[in-house]
Structure 1
Amino acid sequence: MCYHYPLPLSLNDYQEKARRFAVYPHPSYAVLALGEEAGELQGKFAKAIRKGVEPNIEDIKAELGDVLWNIANIAADNNLTLVEIAEYNLNKLEGRLERGTIVGEGDHR
């Protein structure tokens, strides 16, 4: 069964809807599950590279969705919205671009 949500689906709408499925015993679950899901995403790309083919887009969509679900719940568990995080991240990147430090290492460039 495929559910269709009204478009456009905002980041905060997604986060609110994703919380319905957040049934886990401890907030650190989503943090640990994020690593697991990111590893599954990496695995899809690694297998495609090994076979010399493009990764299956449906597999990538599914794994990215699992990553997004965990990020949404980690944010909510810490009283943050996805929009807050997205805006913060874009501001950080704009600042790095202005300072000419977009390429480099470290959190505070």
Structure 2
Amino acid sequence: MSSNDAVKLSDAEWKQRLTPMQYQVLRLKGTERAGTGEYNKHKETGVYVCAGCKTPVYTSTTKFDSGCGWPAFYDAIPGAIKAVPDADGRRTEIMCAKCDG
């Protein structure tokens, strides 16, 4: 993905576009409580898109139940995500490659 494709919005624009929970997770790096997200038990066929920029990131064919309380996917749509090591060095954060959400 080229830098020209990147979605760059001000903090105020993100707050207007996203729900409070989406803003907390996508912009402030928060985490919703395990088992509470609307897509954790979601079983319908289709494509999952980034809540911030609507970029397709996963297909339902790669979703599986990891038992952790959050949706899990074993593969992403090529070029849709990026993996960034958390500051603690023990985990990896998965982010949208287009909007960093």
Give TM-score scaled by structure 1 length: 0.25
The alignment's TM-score, normalised by the length of structure 2, stands at: 0.27
Larger relative strand fraction: 2
| Relative contact order, higher structure (CA 8 A, sep 6+) | 1
The structure that is helix-richer by fraction is: 1
